[in-house]
Structure 1
């Protein structure tokens, strides 16, 4: 929790600051926040942020939730934004969201959009991305939530934003337990990663191969009954719960746990479902997300 939480009081509406790389999905995130009832301002110079909040307070009341999108076009004004966030002068509970993606994905999206990058000039697009990452480096480090959109389509990013900001209860820790396949790459936005490849793979059992760890109880039972599975769950879930308590004490509201296996279909899916279930039993707002299920 920043100093702005105390300054704004319990009735002050949340402020979401959305920034990140060009092509990473800022416009999609902003549209979803608008649909969720936020007052959204796009491409706002950071120096005008306090004035905008004052106008919103006066016209719509202090409980109105606000979202602002700030991108690299603001240039030198980024230093002012860092100072505002660092000193907690904005008077609201503030969440800084940074949208990122790999350079390969950003290049592909930018070329598809047929728009020049704001920092490109006469140089290559990759040169512009290097400059942008340098400019945004400090804000990425400060971010409360980093969302890697490399593997997300528009609908998936919209769902992520809705899951994160669609509830009026903004003090609860949101835990995402994400299953994935190592052959498709690590989720770069994970806070913790666990490898389920120490468990026997249902892929090699003919009657289980076609099923998955979410929809087929026989697959899940096979995974849970494997040597070491229960011991892992009994040891790992309390660790995550302890970390969650610490996150809440530090004012963090998002925790992303990645559970991997070879293809993201059997072991990681079953274990993610069980981890999320056990965390919910401990009173946490946890849900399982299956990044690579159905991808094979």
Structure 2
């Protein structure tokens, strides 16, 4: 009888992107993640976490007595708390640049575009995630029949939302909708599209209006989430540039990935996309279907192997 996986404590804000990265890493290591949601107290939510003099007092109580080890922390606030826990004897794996010296953690796993270095720093080309070949195969079995009515080639479209770096409001949504409709008509492709929680309602309306018809399917955000199914069934993928996580999950598949530009600027995301374009894994989306030979790119496995080696664990 197989023993249940050992637990790991996740110190993170309760956000989808942070759960995806930390849970994905933990499960690839062979650990069962348990989230301890990080919520700053009062005025501390307005102060950079690297300046918190007492990180464990700057947040709502985590229930430290029940924390399992190792601890996986993420981001600046998670890093501040993770470093404090390590001073108390915990083994702490930090994901993303903690904005603190890497030596305050057992391991730091960051993207290359974070531009940090150290003997305990593991650099990846993509964000960490849990999209594995096994999960994609299961999703293909589930979603293949549901999407079988759409023309082939089938283009999966992953739409994010505006943030502090990029704009995706009604004008940008309308422009994206026109480009997708042009591709659907000229290249005779099927489209399966999923918005995210961050996609504005007016953007969803523009997409629905432009893509209405038998050759497209748009998730109405009710019922089972089709995200993995779209990744698994796609012959090609279009993803908006605002999300490193969505791009990273898309390039983990065997489909060519086209990135839809948005107004705005991010040095970090620009470096991330430039490297993937240089190795031929992504191309800009120009309103037409493009296909080219690709190989799945997923650095989460390499990061998980480094964590297992540090913890003395065998592969699951």
Q: Which has the higher helix share?
A: 1
TM-score higher than 0.5 here? no
TM-score (norm 1): 0.27
TM-score (norm 2): 0.26
* RCO higher in structure (CA 8 A, sep ≥6): 1
